[in-house]
Structure 1
């Protein structure tokens, strides 16, 4: 190739690309570890609310470098409104730093729907108590539907899988995703979130403005883990109530999780997750700690998942090659 060109991959080009939970989890793990070891770069997410509050529109961008696969990534997102997935658009561009050439421009919905549950699974693996056997999943949106199979792939000892959701399509898809990978497992649908949270070893909140009481860390039993996937369904006191607090990125907690601050413009965390995963920081101080983990998307996890999906799609003959610079 003598001229710079992108492989342009649409949402439909990527929709049927098969990639297992184990493959995604491994890619995300490598991304975090490369960052923890200083081989990658990940500036804080830039987010800009738009002036018309009635539509609750927001735009943000992320830039990062994955030292493991020597690839640079730019991600952009725009959403108009809170409830409409039809008005959410996100893309990622990849550049090969070994050749200095552009590689792919692609829809990022499938990437986010894969790397987010992989991050959740890795947080659960590292931070849940060793004998954890039950999980409550709250939310059935695009990123939440893969969470239970990803958790089971990482923690096969989970025997009780509880699910709370309000959208019929999301509930059906959540059941289907688990059955696809673990047909022998069953989901227990729950209606009382506080009661279920008190019974679960791990609680994952990925709901928007859902019809349930906002989740509190204080509901957890000793040793419990609450993972907030940038969820509006988590009470703003959840971080302050925790015995130990983790964030995927302290900087991004200040951007996308500012409601968890202490009233003086700051939010206390005890460790960043990449350091926990790399063994550079503890996952908790005590087996009895109620742990709160704030999960915000980091492009160092988008890049390896996007790279893997793009390669599979290109090998299958999907997408188009576009030369923007000729």
Structure 2
């Protein structure tokens, strides 16, 4: 199958074919892509946004009063790749254990050169890769000079890939610490690490006391746990110069409110999705800078080696678009997917 929408490649049924290629979880599962390539794609998306070539409107959120589910919708345009896309995300059973929850996320791509649909895909793997890539970029740009110790909190989808991405972006890390409550998750983290870095392993922390002590040793603390984690590292546990990156859960609100500097991938999205980090009065501290502007050199990230920096890592749809487009290219080049004449 030859894909339309890859800029100059002919459509399978002619130049005006508007059929939609659906790429399933199975279609995308065997696509090989390295952490370094993912990081490069995500960085390009941030830089295009900072340059004004891309659009990343504030995400929409809907949830019932009892909080049993949450849904998001995100529209954006990647100006570097000239792709327009819509992402949807729906999670049900938020009060349940992970095994009882339902989660569905899709990404639909349109080629803004040809005006034709490119693909609709399961966005699970895209999100699982772009989030640790963004966290790794935050660590690369915001960690104190000479950072040597990293602590990852959480062993779910994001935690399992955090260490390979961190080591790719910050190769000087010497000591890797891991906190998780699920033995299978801990094993999965260590297996992922050895897959990409066969000679490296993580020190597994036993209990919250060990976590608090380790937080005081860490130059980079990446909180990627799920909402049911007992971990909540407070500001007074963080050493001077520490960078804390919030991707999921595992940091107390004080880590944000008492930071010397706050950087968000998007200040607008932080106001939407970061409400659980509000202080006792319900106030959410504002960001001092946005990360795309930091990457572009138009805003300061860390301004002193001894600063405690807090980074809020909310997913930007432009990064999903860029990585999703790359996956679509790789999948369609292999003839994967099912073409659906949706608009006929």
Q: Could you say which residue in structure 2 is the equivalent of 1:138?
A: 153
TM-score when scaled to structure 2? 0.91
1:117 and 1:186 mapped to 2: Cα distance? Answer: 18
2:283 and 2:246 mapped to 1: Cα distance? Answer: 20
Q: Could you say which residue in structure 1 is the equivalent of 2:198?
A: 183
2:257 and 2:47 mapped to 1: Cα distance? Answer: 28
User: 1:137 offset after TM fit, Å?
Assistant: 0.4
Q: Could you say which residue in structure 1 is the equivalent of 2:92?
A: 80
1:143 and 1:218 mapped to 2: Cα distance? Answer: 25
2:245 is equivalent to residue 227 of structure 1: yes
Partner of 2:230, secondary structure, is coil
Task: Assess if the C-alpha contact under 8 Å between 1:230 and 1:256 holds in 2.
Answer: no
User: 1:299 offset after TM fit, Å?
Assistant: 0.3
2:25 is equivalent to residue 7 of structure 1: no
Superposed structure 1 runs of 4+ greater than 4 Å apart: none
Note the alpha carbon deviations across 1:229-252, whole angstroms, 9 max, x for none.
Answer: 032x22122211101111111101
Task: Assess if the C-alpha contact under 8 Å between 1:239 and 1:245 holds in 2.
Answer: yes
Task: Assess if the C-alpha contact under 8 Å between 1:161 and 1:188 holds in 2.
Answer: yes
Q: Could you say which residue in structure 1 is the equivalent of 2:267?
A: 250
After superposition, the Cα gap between the structure-2 partners of 1:211 and 1:87, relative to the gap in structure 1 and judged at 3 Å, is closer
User: 1:211 offset after TM fit, Å?
Assistant: 4.5
1:211 and 1:264 mapped to 2: Cα distance? Answer: 22
1:286 and 1:225 mapped to 2: Cα distance? Answer: 12
1:197 and 1:264 mapped to 2: Cα distance? Answer: 26
Kindly tell me the number of residue pairs found equivalent between the two proteins. 323
Q: Could you say which residue in structure 2 is the equivalent of 1:38?
A: 52
1:227 and 1:58 mapped to 2: Cα distance? Answer: 23
Q: Could you say which residue in structure 1 is the equivalent of 2:113?
A: 98
User: 1:265 offset after TM fit, Å?
Assistant: 4.4
Partner of 2:158, secondary structure, is coil
User: Which runs of no fewer than 5 residues in structure 2 stay unpaired?
Assistant: 1-13
Partner of 2:145, secondary structure, is coil
2:300 is equivalent to residue 282 of structure 1: yes
Partner of 1:212, secondary structure, is coil
Partner of 1:175, secondary structure, is helix
Q: Could you say which residue in structure 1 is the equivalent of 2:8?
A: none
Alpha-carbon RMSD across the aligned residues, in angstroms, is 1.4
Task: Trace 1:45-56 onto structure 2 (pairs within 5 A).
Answer: 45-53=59-67, 56=68
2:241 and 2:139 mapped to 1: Cα distance? Answer: 12
Partner of 2:321, secondary structure, is helix
2:75 is equivalent to residue 63 of structure 1: yes
User: Which runs of no fewer than 5 residues in structure 1 stay unpaired?
Assistant: none
TM-score when scaled to structure 1? 0.95
Work out which of the two has the higher radius of gyration on C-alpha atoms and give 1 or 2.
Answer: 2
Note the alpha carbon deviations across 1:50-88, whole angstroms, 9 max, x for none.
Answer: 2443xx200111111000000011000111112336500
Q: Could you say which residue in structure 2 is the equivalent of 1:169?
A: 184
After superposition, the Cα gap between the structure-2 partners of 1:187 and 1:265, relative to the gap in structure 1 and judged at 3 Å, is closer
Q: Could you say which residue in structure 2 is the equivalent of 1:122?
A: 137
2:218 is equivalent to residue 200 of structure 1: yes
After superposition, the Cα gap between the structure-2 partners of 1:211 and 1:4, relative to the gap in structure 1 and judged at 3 Å, is closer
Partner of 1:145, secondary structure, is helix
1:219 and 1:282 mapped to 2: Cα distance? Answer: 25
Q: Could you say which residue in structure 1 is the equivalent of 2:337?
A: 319
Among 6, 11, 18, the residue aligned to 2:32: 18
